Amino acid sequence: MSRVLTVRLAFGIVIFSFLCSLFIAAIFSALDPSALSGSNLGISSYIALFVAQIILVLPSALFLFKNGLNLSDNFRLNKISKETLFLSLILSFGAVLLSSEINILIDFIFPIPESFLNLDSLLAPGNPLSLLLVILTVVFVAPIGEEMVFRGFLQRYLEKSWGDPTRAILVSSLFFALIHFNPYWAIQIYFMGLLLGYLSWLTKSIYPSILMHMAINGTSMLFIFLGENAESALLWKGHINPLLLILGAYTFWFSLKNMQFAYRK
């Protein structure tokens, strides 16, 4: 017997998906003794991250499948043109530069304590397989899964239920930020959610938002891996080089303007 999807149920499915993801991650992480010793994480912890991100999509996918709803439509897995793909890539380039500067400014006002998030431990795999799992999880699996759940399943339903895309984007982006449980990155995550939500609504597809999500996650990882080398190449007096910021702002404006024109004409 099919069950009618409601706003409360949609949020409940997303929360349940997140809890399932955490539960699976906890099980795998419990098999890794290094998680408590402070040494480099073992392979089971990286498997936990990988599997947990895949599990994130399963509850909503199972609900849609069980109720005979089209997965492609309800996850917004709609095809985009080559022009949209190209504009999405350019937009992602600009968004990466602008978001990097926003991160610097926010971190200056609200610095993140070193004890809050030990990224060095997480992103310092001891073997090639662990490194591969980190890259696959952070750069590919996580963006795809999170966009399917938040911009596809949840935001799409809120748009349809409320009849107000702006409200749907604002609320789903806030929920996206809150469910990460990271008060030091909440502002950045919320702004990113707004942009990703707007892109998925404008193009009626999550492929542009997936590309941008991948670009932001990928460059964040690259900056962490490169460390001081990245800083010397991109920064000027502690901020993104002004020339790069101007280039980023222009490519962001150019690509977004053309994308809006293509989908509103």
CA distances (Å), origin 64, targets 10, 20, 45, 152, 179: 11, 17, 30, 12, 22
Residues of the chain with pLDDT under 70: 1-3, 28-29, 31-41, 114-124, 126, 227-228, 230-231, 265
- Residue 122 is assigned to a structural domain of this protein: yes
Q: Are 95 and 188 in contact (CB under 8 A)?
A: no
The pLDDT, as a whole number, for residue 83 is 94
pLDDT of residue 48: 85
CA distances from 223 to 63, 228, 251 (A): 38, 9, 21
What domain count does the chain have?
Answer: 1
Residue 1 lies in a domain: no
- Residue 265, judged by CB atoms within 10 A of its CB (0-12, 13-18, 19+), counts as exposed
CA 219 – CA 227 distance, rounded (Å) = 12
In a domain, 252, yes or no: yes
What pLDDT sits at residue 1? 37
Domain span at 238: 79-264
* 72 inside domain: no
Whether 179 is in a domain gets the answer yes
Is the residue at 27 inside a domain? Answer: no
Sequential DSSP letters for 82-113: HHHHHHHHHHHHHHHHHHHHHHHHHHHHSPPP
Quote the CA–CA distance of 162 and 52 in Å, as a whole number. 31
């662990």: which residue's tokens? 130
Q: What's the pLDDT at 225?
A: 75
Calpha distance 34→40 (Å, rounded): 6
Instruction: Give the list of residues 6+ apart from residue 127 with CB closer than 8 angstroms, or none.
Output: 43
DSSP classification of residue 75: T
Which residue carries 């073997």 as its tokens? 127
Contact 153, 15 (CB under 8 A): no
Prediction pTM value:
0.91
Residues 34, 41: Cα–Cα separation, whole Å:
5
How many C-alpha atoms does 216 have within 13 Å on its Cβ side? 28
